[in-house]
Amino acid sequence: MTSPILSVLDLKVHFAVRGPFNRRIGAIKAVDGVSFDLMPGEVFGLVGESGCGKSTLGKTIMGINQPNGGEIWFEGRQIDRLPPAARRAVRKSLQYAYQDPGASLDPRWKIGRSLQEPLVIHSDLDAAAREQRIRSILEAVGLPDTHLDLYPHEISGGQQRRVGLARILTLHPKVVILDEPTSGLDVSVQATVLSLFRSLRQTFELTYMLISHDLAVVRTMCNRVAVMYLGRIVEAGPTEEIFDRPRHPYTRSLLAAIPKIGGPRITRDFWLQGEPPDPGNLPSGCRFRTRCPKATDLCAREEPAARPLGQSSVACHFPD
């Protein structure tokens, strides 16, 4: 049986809340006990409301944030406690595509120099070999060589996203974490970018972790989906099972919010109201209970553990 290329085990990322005199008075539990496996070649989706911890999780896997607990394994090697030099070597194979690709490109550098930088840092290629790889990758993402002499502000948002992908692919990674890869793009450009993701995945044998709040994109792209709420995964499983038979109340409400063609913008089944609780002051027991119509005293006393249901796992005392 194929082993996971990436494993996250009981990962915790807590940010200190400080009061007067810089005294620690609490903690924001951005990621609080998350576990999952990413299999080679698959597309694994991570969905949830803004502030649920999706991007924090992705950045912690990359080493941008430091975990407070748990483990991260990549290709059979624990990477969350590696020294900086060893961690940089891992980043050649594990890359992160930022939500705003324009912000990750130096506005003072031409596109060619931005694409050269990762190869200068992470490879021993000479100038001619770097130039050859850059041009081949640029062709793979559908951009002409003339873009090498342009600045980031001289190209469109969709083209910036392609440049961001090209910058990542120059290092021939194995896993790419895509953070909201279609946000801010026109619908037609979104379709083009998603088609490009599929093509690049086959060409370069990539594995994707797709972070998104766009459930339509997730259903189109992903093999498996995990739903996050306030730092925890509340439901995970094959995409079709999650979308066709959601068992957690939060998942059902998210899916009910998807606009239907020819119908009302929000369906009659949508009932989720209010904002999530303060992550620095979580409710007792189930952290979704303050917004759940099925909550009971048991939900207030005990936090539900994930249990298998079908091919999925659900963290709920009363799953459907």
Q: Does 97 have pLDDT greater than 70? A: yes
Predicted local distance difference test score (pLDDT) of residue 89: 84
What average pLDDT does this structure show over 307-319?
94
Query: pLDDT band for position 98 (50/70/90)?
Result: confident
Mean pLDDT of 185-203: 87
> pLDDT band for position 263 (50/70/90)?
low
Instruction: Specify the pTM.
Output: 0.90
Q: If DSSP states are collapsed to H, E and C, what string results for the chain?
A: CCCCCEEEEEEEEEEEEECHHHCEEEEEEEEEEEEEEECCCCEEEEECCCCCCHHHHHHHHHCCCCCCEEEEEECCEECCCCCHHHHHHHCCCEEEECCCHHHHCCCCCCHHHHHHHHHHHHCCCCHHHHHHHHHHHHHHCCCCHHHHHCCHHHCCHHHHHHHHHHHHHCCCCCEEEEECCCCCCCHHHHHHHHHHHHHHHHHHCCEEEEECCCHHHHHHHCCEEEEEECCEEEEEEEHHHHHHCCCCHHHHHHHHCCCCCCCCCCCCCCCCCCCCCCCCCCCCCCCCHHHCCCCCHHHHHCCCCCEEECCEEECCCCCC
Q: Which CATH architecture has domain 6-93+173-314?
A: 3-Layer(aba) Sandwich (3.40)
Indicate the domain borders of the chain.
6-93+173-314
* pLDDT at residue number 261: 62
Mean pLDDT computed over 36-62:
94
Average per-residue pLDDT in the chain?
A: 90
Work out the pLDDT band at 181, boundaries 50, 70, 90. confident
* Average confidence (pLDDT) over 135-148: 92
Taking residues 279-302, report their average pLDDT.
92
Q: Choose from 89-93, 139-143, 161-165, 225-229 the range with maximum mean pLDDT.
A: 225-229
